[in-house]
Chain A
Amino acid sequence: MSSPDLSKFAATSGTSGTPRIVFEDVEKRFGKNVVLNGLGFEVAKGERVTLIGPSGSGKTTILRLLMTLEELSGGYIYVDGEPLTHKKADNGKRTALRPKEVALIRRRIGMVFQQFNLFPNMSVIENIIEAPVHVLGQSKEEARSKAQSLLDQVGLGDRGDEHPTRLSGGQQQRVAIARALAMEPEILLLDEVTSALDPELVGDVLGVLRDVANTTDITMLLVTHEMQFARDVSHRVMMFDEGHIIEESAPDAMFSNPQHERTKKFLQAIL
């Protein structure tokens, strides 16, 4: 993968031709461990991309970098053409953005984690309205009615007043999805959101995500081991190994006719 040429949208930031996400020459180190090095890719608006690859290949790291949960060691990430955490100054120097600037762009991104991480000090519906009220400045009534329709959408319309721990894992994860959606993100990051669930609970969560995929144009980056789901919802699959994209294609091609030897092995092992 070569780094994308950013000059073409430098002046047209935010227009429809601009990729939603650009990774440019991204580097991520943990101490001496170089996890990502010279990574570049683009994701178009409304595109849904699945990241696959063996354990430790860097999939989670990529999502966490986008969510600003990890610090970028080198390179740039752009959202709608705007730098997320670091920008190239006029003199070409790489400079970190101020926390306030980062916060502004970060609002366009939402994430659902493997462990649902609902807030235990609040009821289900309070979990959902918390950020819309305190970050987006919505009125409580507005946030509540939106949260209620989100809860209806994920099939938990009657559970809003309950404490999160009274819900099953699958239900909690659906609340977590609703909570992320309540922030009206342009980008949704999903990191193995069904991996912590009992098998019989996976279907409902995937059903909700299929619904989101079919009814919105939210750009999605997903890491999943559910290959049928990946096949159904994603436009593109990227296969990672040791921090590099070794193969990418439409899901059908990737799963039925992988080119790279490593991809074949990986898919054999998990299918």
Chain B
Amino acid sequence: MYETTYHKASSVSEAVDLLKKADDGKLLSGGQTLIPTMKQRLAAPSDLIDLRQIDELKGISRQSDGSIRIGAATCHADVAGSADVKEALPGLAALAGKIGDPHVRHMGTIGGSIANNDPAADYPSALLALGASIETNKREFTADDFFTGMFETALDEDEIVTAIVFPATEKSAYAKFPNPASRYAMAGVFVAKGANGTRVAVTGAGQDGVFRVKEMETALNGSWSPDAVASISVSADDLISDIHGSSEYRANLVTVMAKRAVAAA
């Protein structure tokens, strides 16, 4: 790891100030992506601004309209274990409980995961399928506008994700085929039926990151059953092909995971 200077922020405004003052600063949340990347010398921020101790970024609350608000620095284990999330959004709780391993879930956070937008990360599929909104220190995004490509988001350099709000949803479920070594998704499909209609979002497979499958959404609007999506496949053209699996293999996994998710919802 290259040299760096560590700062602990105790509020969002302090974090913004520290970030502005830094030469080439980076926010540090759970560190479960950033620290391994720095160890490999693939990132070399001059300064690290730690968000993990900022109280206003933590916690899960159910709001009066039934939506669930999750602070950006809330760890995966807390989302997986939350009684409110399990009741209102079982698919989201199940997803959080399948990220990596128990130790990664103790540190890694929802804000860090979506800001990073790894094409194989789990959370982006839930935000897109549930029609979540993303609050930052500057503005609010819809999930549709937030994820802009592989490891790309609509965030500015000095912008901090503060919370994610998930609207009340009738049904939600997630099915993931994990890479046996890394546990990241080879293909993960999140299905939801709620205020934003029926949505199907796929992670782990797309070259540009998370995407929706409109054809499956239409089919599920007609009939919510695994059979409704069984004969729908996505084109392999825009899917990832790597040592873990070809794009054709991933295309097949998308249909299989969609069926499993619908069956589980």
Do A and B associate with each other?
no
B interface residues, Cβ below 8 angstroms from A = none
